[in-house]
Each structure stands twice: as structure tokens, then as C-alpha cells.
Amino acid sequence: MAVNQEDVKAAKSILWPDETVEVTAKQRRIGPGGSATSPTSVLATDKRIIILNRASLGIRQDYEVIPYKQVTSVRLEHGVLSSSVFIRVQGYDRDQGLLKNGKEEGEIDGLNNADAKALADFLNKKLDDAASSPEAGETDSGAVGSRYCTQCGNRNPASSKFCSKCGASLGR
Ligand SMILES: [Zn+2]
């Protein structure tokens, strides 16, 4: 798998101690798709997707976290110079970040072709794994209690290990 150590280092303060970065994808610095407001690096860890936007470093929100649980589909659009990875996310806050255009599908454009392929392949595999896991499809009955996120206050099903809103670990 393609992992750029520079990106891992940049995300060090965001990563959890037990989190492993599996794939990184970098945006092309020049050429179509490489805009200043777009994300510059995408990290797919064993637990979630982290999008680093170095262009806005210094601003509080300089990265985004997307839990795999909220990703419903991933598709790759292959270009000549660069590729785009489209991520469809369920229940995502539409006013922020990646999907602020009001769609439930976010485009990470201007990625190196090889990076984009590795990222899309990895994400699709993650989705397959999640779909075949016994926890898939489990719903919050409300009878067994809930877990409230200590980071953002979001109410999660009792079986959740991670907050569905911000991706924070809910402990055991
Ligand atoms: Zn949370």
C-alpha cells in the first residue's frame, strides 16, 4: 500500500495512538483540480478517513474526519493527468467541509492517478468488510441505552465504538 510518511507526520496530532494509516493520497500541486481550497492529502486509516487541508493551516478546521460507517459508496473517476475519488457520505453535516456544496457526494479531485486508485480500492474494500461484518445493519433500539460522545455530545447507539458524527473513540 502507498503510505506517504510526510502525510502521516502531518496528521500525527489527529491520529489515535492505536490507529494505523493504511493508504495516503496526495493532490497534485499543479494542473487541473489542484486548487488552494481543496484538500491536499487524504489518509485512510484502519478506522476512518482523514482529509488534511494544509492550505488552511492556522484555521481551526484544517482537517476533516469521515468515519467509514457513514460512507455509503466510493467511486473512482480516472483522468489523463489526475483522478478524482468520489465519496458518498450518509448523514454528514452538509454545511462543513468536503460536502459543503450541498450534495451527499464529495469529490476529492486532482489526485495522482496511482494514489487515487489505491485509495478507491482500499475504501471499497473497507465498505465490503463493513457490509459483511455481523454488526452491519444493527440499529439503535433505544432500549439498551446510548453512548454520548465526550467530544461533540452526539448520541450514538450503545454498540458504537466510535462517534458517528465526529469519529472520536467512545471507549469500551
Ligand atoms: Zn462525537
Q: Domain of residue 31: give its range.
A: 5-137
Q: What is the pLDDT of residue 137?
A: 47
Q: Tell me the C-alpha distance between 158 and 120, whole Å.
A: 30
Same domain, 87 and 157: no
Ion ligand 1: protein residues whose beta carbon lies under 5 Å: 149, 151-152, 154, 163, 165-166, 168
Q: Tell me the C-alpha distance between 148 and 41, whole Å.
A: 30
Q: Which residues contact 74 (CB under 8 A, 6 or more apart)?
A: 85, 86, 87, 88, 120, 123, 124, 127
Same domain, 122 and 150: no
| Cα–ligand 1 centroid distance for 149 (angstroms) | 5
Same domain, 106 and 150: no
| Cα–ligand 1 centroid distance for 4 (angstroms) | 28
Residue 18's domain is classified under what CATH number? 2.30.29.30
Q: Provide the domain count of the chain.
A: 2
DSSP reduced 3-state for 86: strand
| Cα–ligand 1 centroid distance for 147 (angstroms) | 10
Q: Which residues contact 109 (CB under 8 A, 6 or more apart)?
A: 27, 33, 38, 82, 84
pLDDT per position as a tens digit, 101-154: 445 677 777 888 889 999 999 999 998 887 776 654 444 444 457 788 888 888
- Pairwise pLDDT comparison (23 vs 79), residue with the higher score: 23
Same domain, 111 and 157: no
Distances (CA, A) of 166 to 4, 24, 68, 103, 170: 24, 20, 11, 19, 11
| Cα–ligand 1 centroid distance for 152 (angstroms) | 4
φ/ψ region of 104 (left if φ > 0, alpha if ψ in -120 to 50, else beta) reads alpha
Same domain, 116 and 157: no
- Pairwise pLDDT comparison (171 vs 31), residue with the higher score: 171
- Pairwise pLDDT comparison (57 vs 85), residue with the higher score: 85
Same domain, 122 and 39: yes
Same domain, 90 and 157: no
Same domain, 171 and 105: no
pLDDT per position as a tens digit, 27-82: 765 444 444 454 578 899 999 998 887 554 444 447 778 888 888 889 999 988 88
Q: Tell me the C-alpha distance between 41 and 142, whole Å.
A: 38
Same domain, 85 and 66: yes
> Residues 150-172: what's their mean pLDDT?
85
Q: What is the pLDDT of residue 131?
A: 75
Model pTM score: 0.65
- Pairwise pLDDT comparison (163 vs 40), residue with the higher score: 163
| Cα–ligand 1 centroid distance for 28 (angstroms) | 32
- What is the 8-class DSSP label of residue 30? S
Same domain, 51 and 133: yes
Residues 161 and 147 sit within 8 Å (Cβ to Cβ): no
Same domain, 161 and 120: no
Same domain, 127 and 149: no
| Cα–ligand 1 centroid distance for 170 (angstroms) | 8
What spatial distance separates the first Cα and last Cα of the chain, rounded to whole Å? 30
